[in-house]
Structure 1
Amino acid sequence: MNSRSSTDAACPSGRAPMNRTLVLTEGDRDRLSPHLLRHPPAGGFAEPPQGTIHGDCLRWANHLPPTFVDLLLLDPPYNLNKTFNSQKFTRQTVEQYTEWLDQVVTILVPLLKPSASIYICGDWFSSPSIFAVASTHFIIRNRITWEREKGRGSRSNWKNASEDIWFCTRSDEYTFNVDAVKLRRKVVAPYRRSDGSPKDWQQTCDGNFRDTYPSNFWTDITIPFWSMAENTDHPTQKSEKLIAKLILASTNVGDMVFDPFLGSGTTSAVAKKLGRRYLGIELDEEYCLLAEKRLELADSAPAIQGYADGIFWERNTLAIQTGKRSQMLTPPESIP
């Protein structure tokens, strides 16, 4: 994707009137540019920095404090041909991509606490490389597969409709808040006890729901699109809901979340909304500025689509959401 002049207007021409895609004005650029970290301080960082670094994570890593990261969210370019505004990534052989990814991880490992968790994003073609590198440096705990409901079909192959997130830790001491990432599902077969009361589900005026523990197969993620306030023109943007699950599960309030391939800033924005500290590094200045704008907006719009009252909802089942909380159409005492 190349830079487009449409990002220079608050109501860019060529977009539908209801298009909520987040764009930058020249005023945004002037205001937010000083917020970016562009050069490390001469004497190094006395404390871990917070915010957005404009630069190359491979060059910045040696300037950052050791063992300051609680959660590393690694979403590097996948092993395919892709243009990211001013940056291009070219598909490599599996061996070449594995070598590049190993270089990235080797440089980042010293930044991690012994109790840190690591999530590495990829697609099917990146998976052999991710497994090879992750198994060398970390303890692999699981592989999450999430349904990517958008994408073009193919006449000569199966449509790619899923992506993976590899869950790793540095040691056997790590954070996992399973109760923070429950999923509220619609109940298809509402079984009742002998007295007629619901068995393991809740009855509401919006329908019947059950709160379930999370699995490693996620079908409730919506890819950001034009009518969502979180949407940007970044070609591979992750949804805030997806990132929120990872942050809530593997950090506590006040922990440091680090994303060295920040893109348009989803990780930092979600970390801020959830009361975590955050640091992101991004090569492209336009995306850095988008990240800063999203951080700015997080103060006035802290909601995360599909997440309310400490519960993640199945896609299109959260009936009414206002601010941080959903408005349940049932007495609160009926829902534990």
Structure 2
Amino acid sequence: MLPTNQIVQGDCVEVLKSLPDSTVDLVVTDPPYLVNYRDRSGRSVQNDGGSPEFLGAFSDLYRVLKPNSVCVCFYGWSRVDEFFSAWRQAGFRPVGHIVWQKGYASRVGLLEYRHEQAYLLAKGSPARPAKPFADVQPWEYSGNRAHPTEKAVGILSPLVRAFSKPGDIVLDAFAGSGSTAVAAALAGRRYVGIELDGAYCDLARKRLAGVARYTDRKAA
């Protein structure tokens, strides 16, 4: 049974194996970038140490997606070969690329790093959205208060609305502090989140409880 409107603690490679085939309408996920990331306060991300084993989860992400649906996956550009290998091996077909332009440099090396990116990956032949999503978007900084690589709900909500319908199920296999699930709940979608770190699971559940109180007040 699909654990809808829940944040499940565990390794997504294992948890996904228990989910039934062709039951999810949309995947929006932000896995570790395989870059040994550490923020200014020293926080790191689990499984970001350079080993790509967790990318095997995409085979089950493909399996649980309904036919003719999409997965939006953020990725680390410097390890794109490993990501692409996992996506193609799973069966996904790249059908678009989205860039979020930052108004600041998050890091400086040979270049100033001023963007984030995600691939739009298809299972089958998805229908064109009623309002196609522009492939260059403005970035909204979350402040990374809850998680060292936290995506703002404001950049995820347009993805959820473009590629799913009210009542659909949105899955995030690398849920972190729950931003995708929050975006789904606010848009009237159901959600499933999987997260390895228990502290982030607890935080995501608290955020979603706040969303439920907010939507209940609006409905009253």
Q: TM-score scaled to structure 1, two decimals?
A: 0.57
**Distance across 2 between alignment mates of 1:298 and 1:51:** 13
Structure ranking higher in helix proportion: 2
Structural RMSD (CA)? 2.3
* Equivalent pair of 2:62/2:92 in contact (CA under 8 Å): no
Name 2:139's counterpart in structure 1.
221
Match of 2:119 among 147, 157, 166: 166
Pairwise CA distance, 1:139: 2.3
1:145 matched to 2:67? The reply is no
**Distance across 2 between alignment mates of 1:141 and 1:60:** 27
Pairwise CA distance, 1:134: 2.9
**Distance across 1 between alignment mates of 2:150 and 2:45:** 16
Give the fraction of aligned pairs with identical amino acids, expressed as a percent: 28
Q: Deviations over 1:82-137 (max 9, x none)?
A: 36668352135xxxx3x652x12113222111122111101321333333333441
| Closer, same or farther: CA 300–224 of 1 in aligned 2, 3 Å | same
User: One-letter code of the match for 1:283?
Assistant: L
| Closer, same or farther: CA 296–150 of 1 in aligned 2, 3 Å | farther
Match of 2:164 among 251, 259, 262: 251
Name 2:60's counterpart in structure 1.
107
Q: Any idea what SS the aligned residue of 1:82 has?
A: coil
Name 2:48's counterpart in structure 1.
89
Moved beyond 6 Å, runs of 4+: none
**Alignment of structure 1 residues 1-336 onto 2, 5 Å:** 45=1, 48-82=3-37, 87=46, 89-92=48-51, 97=52, 100-101=54-55, 103-136=56-89, 137-154=91-108, 156-174=109-127, 176-178=129-131, 214-218=133-137, 220-225=138-143, 232-301=145-214
User: One-letter code of the match for 1:72?
Assistant: V
Q: Any idea what SS the aligned residue of 1:299 has?
A: helix
* Equivalent pair of 1:117/1:174 in contact (CA under 8 Å): no
Relative contact order higher in (CA < 8 Å, ≥ 6 apart): 2
Pairwise CA distance, 1:290: 0.9
User: One-letter code of the match for 2:212?
Assistant: D
User: One-letter code of the match for 1:216?
Assistant: D
| Closer, same or farther: CA 275–144 of 1 in aligned 2, 3 Å | same
**Distance across 2 between alignment mates of 1:80 and 1:271:** 28
| Closer, same or farther: CA 214–251 of 1 in aligned 2, 3 Å | closer
Q: Deviations over 1:177-196 (max 9, x none)?
A: 31xxxxxxxxxxxxxxxxxx
User: One-letter code of the match for 1:145?
Assistant: V
| Closer, same or farther: CA 67–153 of 1 in aligned 2, 3 Å | closer
**Distance across 1 between alignment mates of 2:85 and 2:129:** 24
Where structure 1 has 5 or more consecutive residues not aligned to the other structure, the ranges are 1-44, 179-212, 226-230, 303-322, 324-336
Aligned residues: 211
Q: Any idea what SS the aligned residue of 1:119 has?
A: strand
**Distance across 2 between alignment mates of 1:86 and 1:77:** 7
User: One-letter code of the match for 2:170?
Assistant: V
Name 1:206's counterpart in structure 2.
none
| Closer, same or farther: CA 175–89 of 1 in aligned 2, 3 Å | same
User: One-letter code of the match for 1:290?
Assistant: L
| Closer, same or farther: CA 131–87 of 1 in aligned 2, 3 Å | closer
Where structure 2 has 5 or more consecutive residues not aligned to the other structure, the ranges are none
Q: Any idea what SS the aligned residue of 1:120 has?
A: strand
Q: TM-score scaled to structure 2, two decimals?
A: 0.85
**Distance across 2 between alignment mates of 1:232 and 1:260:** 21
Q: Any idea what SS the aligned residue of 1:253 has?
A: coil
